[in-house]
Structure 1
Amino acid sequence: MAILGYLGQLQSPDLGAVLPLHSLVPYQVPFNAVALRVIHTDVAPTNIMYAVNASWVGLCRIPEEIRGQSDGPVLLTQTPVCDCLGFGIVRGVEMERKLYHVLTPVPPEKLRLVNCLLLGNIAIPNCVLVGQQGIEGEIPYVTSDYNYSILGSGKLKKRKHFKKREHTFECDYT
């Protein structure tokens, strides 16, 4: 509910109907203007753009200067200690023009300070992506029709035959 309330700030107070994500104008952020880091798991550099596309990100400010490369995104090797200025959705990644398309209610004067996008383990609510008006056909990155015969597509199975270790704790207060 907190994410939905936060995203509600993207809507104009004048309009009666809620605008879908695809009709909102995103900020265009050059690859070399911000560093990226997935903080909850290791992601191979070749897969980082797949991970960040259509994701909820923290818009952060790290004290170090970002040194961008002309051929790709800036990737952090460690999670930085930084200030979070707000949150947003990376609505798209444009590889040809080397741009992230970010939707956020953070005002432009604060956005100028952002130099790091941190991706955590927070999912965008499904109703935000699936319930968009005016989209025909399949929505990229959103599906409910899985082929569970593909290795890795199913849910993890709990292994009940492993025994838990028992730890004994003894205290001697003599």
Structure 2
Amino acid sequence: MLSAKQIEEFKERLLKEKDKTESNIENRETDYDEGALSSYDNHPGDSGDELFLRERDQAITDLETDMLSDVDLALKAIEEGTYGICKVCGKEIELERLDIIPETLLCIDDAKEEAEKNSLNEQQRPVEEDVLDPSVTATGKDIDGDTDGFSKVSDFGNSDSPSDNEDGIDTTRS
């Protein structure tokens, strides 16, 4: 069980992390408020770089927003007196785990289970595959074991010239 002193230390760390993360998000947002009025004189590559940087910063902001949510939940748990207790199984969260990830509300076992569930959800196939020909498998061969459609079509002819053959012999004429 965590002592009152330990809980107070974790609360201070969480509050510092919250302030730092909020400041990072705010600074990142103000960096893009200033910009050129027109992109007329910019090279297209510069516009691509700018787009990439904005998307990267947005991804970082999204991660930090999730982190803020976790920190807020941990601070709420401190106020409710449930900090340091796994919200799934009710066991004590290891002190070493809290020291590394003070915003966690799960013990290591339940965190692993949640991560496995999330990874299974990410392994679902794309919805576009629902409209694909069901006779074609992931190997590129159809049910009969034939090769893909391109190979079937190339059996009827292609644009290879005699120089593309190993012998240099024109096989297109009979």
**TM, length-normalised to structure 2:** 0.22
Of structures 1 and 2, the one scoring higher in RCO (CA 8 A, sep 6+) is 1
Structure with the higher strand share, 1 or 2: 1
| Larger helix proportion of the pair | 2
Greater gyration radius: 2
